[in-house]
Structure 1
Amino acid sequence: MTTPTPTPTLPSPPKCTTAIPDHRGYVPPTACNANYGFYPSWEWNLVFTIGFFLASLLHIAQMLASRKWFCWVLVMGALWEYACFMLRTLGAFDQQNGGLVVVGTLLFLLAPLWINAFVYMVVARLINFLLPSNSQKIFGLSPRWLAKAFVVADVLSFFIQAAGGGMLAGQDGGDTIQTGQRIYMAGIGVQLAFVVIFAVITVLFTIRLERLMGAGLLEPSHNVTVTRHLVWSMLAVIGLIVVRIVFRFVEFSGGVSSSNPILANEAYQLGLDALPMLIALLLINAVHPSKVLKGPESSFPRTWPRRWRTKLGGEHELLDSSGTELGGQRDGRE
């Protein structure tokens, strides 16, 4: 008779344990009651809070002084970044406060989309304002439709990332975190695809504009140096946005757990997300679009409904967004 070999009992995977928070409420990332995957630095978060606060104030002042009301989009992005880091700074002293973590994380993940949308709006307006009407279309799209199409794509990406970010920032854990990770990565994938396409469009616009300026055909009212600085700053901002998107894609592709070294080190988030966005905001502060987009023709004209056009004096009369009469299409532009 043979004795049956006993089946070895495999040890069950270790479960997390509840840790006792230290004086700042911090517990190790592997603990059940951990809210952070790292020990947050209140000093660096305070530095970014001050930086985004100053950038926000400057953008509000520049919007009011120039009366370029579409800049509210950029102001929203700057204020969201400021609010995010204010909450992160407070959270460093109250790390067991789940509300600070959830709201701060959501703002951190979504604020750059406002900056992204603003770049779409500015470049489309520059194309409409600076190029002759016969060379404004790029990939068959007029400047007005470029702005609409890419802003809509940005809004779509915003909602996808908001849905995924809400799951990532929540306290549910488990399958919810994994689902949120996939949804968020899909959202940043959509954003990256459209940003790359728009970068190509911006490069084509820059080439056309450089040819125009090189031939001395830019209208005398436009300062060539300032115009060139603004266009190249927009390209730089697009590059900073791409850096931030690629970082987030790489970050979450490694999984949402304490074993992911990127999630376990706050320096990556500060250096590859917060810093590029702060530089982008300050760069736009330094070369503000209002330095080039001047006068009623710098805004997209608004075509009023037929009954209002008739009352205002003509079937084809146009008014710009501020109500200034244009008396028809300039150079055949809408």
Structure 2
Amino acid sequence: MATLESTSTFASPTTFTVRAEPTCTTAVPDHFGHVPPDACNANYGFYPSWEYNLTVAIGFALTSAAHLIEAVIFKKSFCWVIIMGSLWECICFVLRTLGAHDQQNSEYVTFSTLLFLLAPLWINAFAYMVLARLTYYILPERRLLRIRAEYLSKIFVIADVLSFLIQAAGGAMLANQDDPAAALNGTHIYMVGIGVQLFFVLIFTFFAVSFVRRLSFLERIRGLQRNAKWVWPLVWTLLAVMVLIVIRIVFRLIEFSQGASSSNPFLQHEAFQFCLDAFPMLVALGLLNIVHPGIVLRGPDSSFPRGSWKWWKNRKDGKSRSLFIPLDSGSLLEVSPHRGGVDVGL
């Protein structure tokens, strides 16, 4: 493959000329636009696979269509979040498929990289929203660790948005092929964003474990009355999704800790991105297709109220007070007037 060396000449006050060593070479692309990873005009650290990217794009397209259909069937408007995540993944791999046969097109690289880095945050946010709605729907007290379900959802979604903004800023700088310094800063910013995401995922896991313990206790003392057959499968599905998200986060942290240069082994093999990012997210989306939250969240109280003013009005009128009756075991029996249910507090 023919190459043209890129050199720079600097004028000197004396009579001799200093010639700088070339930092890279500009290579002649092959018929698909591929050049060696260390070439100045390289957009990829590997030879992208058209077939594999197309296969993954089809997989994400199918799960996107399934989530759209399920959102309509179960009438769950909040499912637009998971649909966005799956569509971003699908579009990402469509662009990667096109880029595999047009590797000198930097737009394909830039936009597919941004979508690839940010799409899992939609899936993460959806898991937060589902657990909060399960708390509101199933637990009589409608709270976890003293935090009301509505606020639980808002807190974690806001945290996810914060992580999204940081990662988006870093990803945009990272996708800049013409400025290595900006790309390095982008790597650091992106790692901060994904670190923030991991921090809140771990906190969320603590709440999820609390929910599991509470659910087990309620099932033991009185049984589950609302779509009991699918409650536990959905809970385990959410936990599996979070494990898959953590796998992806750890991979990205390790990958970017090696730098964004062509010498990074994780950037030299496309298989890492397929196996440790795309595949876990595809499995997570598929699991949420099989055990869709709409199977459990049905009927009254399956969604948050549209506004919070009614809650404050009821509080003022004294209608939302809970009655605590001491039991012989030392526990508290909570009668919640707004649910009409009986709950043993832990």
Shared fold per TM-score greater than 0.5 = yes
After superposition, residues 135-174 of structure 1 pair within 5 angstroms as: 136-174=142-180
**Residues 210-234 of structure 1: per-residue CA shift (max 9 Å, x gap):** 2222333322xx2323111001000
After superposition, residues 86-125 of structure 1 pair within 5 angstroms as: 86-125=94-133
CA distance in 2, matches of 1:290, 1:28: 49
Q: Which deviates the most, 31-40 or 11-20?
A: 11-20
Counterpart position of 2:76:
68
CA distance in 1, matches of 2:58, 2:172: 26
Q: Name the CA shift for 1:199/1:305 in 2 (closer, same or farther; >3 Å).
A: closer
Q: Conserved in 2, the CA contact under 8 Å of 1:77 and 1:112?
A: yes
After superposition, residues 1-334 of structure 1 pair within 5 angstroms as: 14-133=22-141, 136-219=142-225, 222-303=226-307, 305=309, 329-331=338-340
Report the count of equivalent residues: 305
Write the letter of the residue equivalent to 1:237.
V
**Residues 35-54 of structure 1: per-residue CA shift (max 9 Å, x gap):** 11111011110110000000
Write the letter of the residue equivalent to 2:162.
L
Write the letter of the residue equivalent to 2:186.
G
- Aligned residue for 2:31, secondary structure, equals coil
- Aligned residue for 2:265, secondary structure, equals coil
**Residues 245-286 of structure 1: per-residue CA shift (max 9 Å, x gap):** 010000000111011101111100110000000000000000
Q: Conserved in 1, the CA contact under 8 Å of 2:145 and 2:210?
A: no
Deviation at 1:14, TM superposition (A): 4.4
Deviation at 1:331, TM superposition (A): 4.9
CA distance in 2, matches of 1:68, 1:172: 44
TM-score (norm 1): 0.86
- Aligned residue for 2:99, secondary structure, equals helix
Write the letter of the residue equivalent to 1:159.
L
**Residues 147-178 of structure 1: per-residue CA shift (max 9 Å, x gap):** 00000000000000000000111222321011
Q: Which deviates the most, 171-180 or 41-50?
A: 171-180
CA distance in 2, matches of 1:330, 1:215: 18
**Residues 2-41 of structure 1: per-residue CA shift (max 9 Å, x gap):** xxxxxxxxx9654101000001000111000001111101
Deviation at 1:139, TM superposition (A): 3.4
Q: Conserved in 2, the CA contact under 8 Å of 1:213 and 1:224?
A: no
Write the letter of the residue equivalent to 1:17.
T
- Whichever structure has more strand as a proportion of its residues is 2
CA distance in 1, matches of 2:307, 2:23: 64
CA distance in 2, matches of 1:316, 1:130: 23
- Aligned residue for 1:330, secondary structure, equals coil
Deviation at 1:304, TM superposition (A): 6.0
Counterpart position of 1:7:
none
Q: Conserved in 1, the CA contact under 8 Å of 2:140 and 2:339?
A: no
Q: Conserved in 1, the CA contact under 8 Å of 2:136 and 2:143?
A: no
Q: Name the CA shift for 1:231/1:262 in 2 (closer, same or farther; >3 Å).
A: same
- The runs of 5 or more residues in structure 1 that have no matched partner are 1-10, 319-327
CA distance in 1, matches of 2:169, 2:308: 36
Identity %: 56
CA distance in 2, matches of 1:183, 1:241: 19
Q: Conserved in 2, the CA contact under 8 Å of 1:80 and 1:111?
A: yes
Write the letter of the residue equivalent to 1:264.
Q
CA distance in 1, matches of 2:340, 2:268: 57
